[in-house]
């Protein structure tokens, strides 16, 4: 079992920090390279840069929750949800279909992870 995971390119779990401006305030976000790659894919689908995507996600999170406790973790969960929703078919593999055009998928993967 472990070989499936440990055979991954070590560059994928290497991390890097990127400086991103959220409403004019510079902040540093540190993520593993794999997550930066997924964020680039998500951003490209909607015609955003990664900083623009991060700002949009931050704004929507603030509007929904009122606060952001751990934005880096939130971004990791966004990437994981994106990949899981692609596998389940709730997000089409077709990169020409913007995320913003999709309705909210069911939250079924959350309950399966809790067990």
Give domain limits for the chain: 2-98
Condensed to tens digits (0 to 9), the pLDDT of residues 58-70 reads: 999 999 998 888 9
Cβ atoms of 29 and 17 within 8 Å: the answer is yes
pLDDT on residue 24 = 83
Tokens read off for 87: 């596998």
Task: Determine the topology of domain 2-98 in CATH.
Answer: Ribbon-helix-helix fold (1.10.3990)
Residue 21: beta bridge partners? 26
What's the mean per-residue pLDDT of the chain? 87
């Amino acid at each position: 079992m472990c070989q499936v995971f440990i055979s991954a390119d070590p560059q994928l779990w290497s991390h890097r920090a990127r400086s991103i401006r959220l409403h004019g305030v510079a902040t540093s976000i540190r993520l593993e390279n794999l997550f930066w790659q997924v964020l680039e894919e998500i951003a490209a689908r909607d015609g955003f840069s990664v900083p623009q995507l991060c700002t949009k996600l931050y704004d929507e999170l603030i509007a929904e929750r009122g606060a952001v406790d751990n934005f880096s973790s939130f971004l990791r969960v966004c990437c994981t949800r994106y990949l899981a929703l692609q596998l389940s078919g709730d997000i089409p593999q077709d990169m020409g279909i913007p995320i913003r055009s999709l309705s909210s998928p069911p939250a079924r993967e959350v309950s399966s992870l809790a067990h």
